[in-house]
Amino acid sequence: MPTRNAAAHAHARLTTPRQRAAWLLLALAVLTVLLTALGASVGSTGFDSVLRLADDPMAARIVWDIRLPRSLGAWLAGALLGLSGAVAQGLFRNPLAEPFLLGSASGASLGVASALALFGTAPATAWLAKLGLTGAAFVGAVVAVLLTLQLARGVQHTLRLLLAGVIVGVVLGAIKDLITLASPDIIAAMQGFNLGSAGFIGWASCVLMALAWCVCMAGAWVFSRALDGLSLGESTAASLGLPLVPMRVALVAVLALSTGTAVAQTGLIAFVGLAAPHLVRSMVKVTHAWLVLLASLMGGVLLLGADVLARWVIAPQELPVGVLTAVLGGGYLLWLMHRRTGQGGVL
């Protein structure tokens, strides 16, 4: 018995939170590679294209120019949403905070609808289109977050913050619908946008999202100490000498850029930003420097897995991935609420 207890204590010392985080990081990286390979292989015709890859130029084009950028793009969009969810939950000290509940996703979609209505659905070049839609989505997301904070009078009251986010999301969503009705030529584009899909992602979108992810991840990591301080409370963070106002501005910019970039390329995809940080926290207890990275990787794995499932479940047709994530994410949130309520706690 003493030997067994000593072995257990030695094992506990070896499996520190940082080591568990490193193992989770490795597992998510392996899942990313496996799901990317699977996503590049499976399509409406099953594995037929990848089996004819060496002999059929058309099959090679399908794999390299359609399926592979779609899979990478789905992972990048999920990574951006997971990152934005981790930043939002830390910034507002609220485990329910995520792009949809704070109104930033609705603001981003309003920005996209406004850009399409003003400039049309067929701009001069693909790069101008991607940059223009991303910029419009970023501005819309920033405006939505600022409106939510103004309406909630800060972040001190959790219930007021969530209520303000819901109100801002509903109002901006209604304005987006009015713009869509006033511009019939963008109705088809906005219908696909509202359902959420990775089917239109190309290499240009992948490059743009990769650049945005690098910028947002660097910003979140630099200000991760501020998130750690805020998790201890406003007064504690201020006593640590942290410049909270400029840090909050920078973190809101990270939240808006990550949400706006993902929404501009894939449309509205729910619950990834909410579920990814929760899943990471249920596995490891780490500081925000680790959390933002792990939540980002978890979001990428979740959305890529959902996209592969959306292509396979009713093949040769496919489900909109936003619908699938809403169903699965809503089920996860209900289970989480039931479990926490049963334990006498809250989310």
84: in domain = yes
- What was the pLDDT predicted at 29? 96
Which burial class, exposed, middle or buried, applies to 66 when counting CB atoms under 10 A from its CB (0-12, 13-18, 19+)? middle
Phi, psi angles (nearest 5°) of residue 183? -125, 80
The per-residue pLDDT for range 224-240, each reduced to its tens digit, is 888 888 777 777 777 77
In this structure, what CATH number is given to the domain that contains residue 198?
1.10.3470.10
What is the number of domains present in the chain? 1
pLDDT in tens, 102-154: 788 889 889 989 988 887 655 444 555 667 778 888 888 888 988 988 888 76
pTM above 0.95, yes or no: no
Tell me the two tokens of residue 9.
């204590």
How far apart are the C-alpha atoms of 235 and 100, rounded to whole Å? 28
In-domain check, residue 39: no
Q: Which two tokens stand for residue 151?
A: 């309406």
Q: What is the pLDDT of residue 86?
A: 94
**Is residue 38 included in any domain, yes or no?**
no
pLDDT at 125: 46
Amino acid identity of residue 121, one-letter, is T
Q: Is residue 34 part of a domain?
A: no
Q: Please count the other Cβ atoms lying within 10 Å of the Cβ belonging to residue 287.
A: 15
pLDDT value for 342: 60
Determine, yes or no, domain membership for 15.
no
In a domain, residue 32? The reply is no
pLDDT value for 127: 52
pLDDT of residue 130: 64
**Domain of 202, in residue numbers:** 49-342
Series of mean pLDDT values for 10-residue runs along the chain (347 residues): 51 68 94 91 64 68 85 95 93 80 86 85 53 82 87 70 86 93 86 84 90 95 87 73 79 88 88 90 90 96 92 80 85 74 56
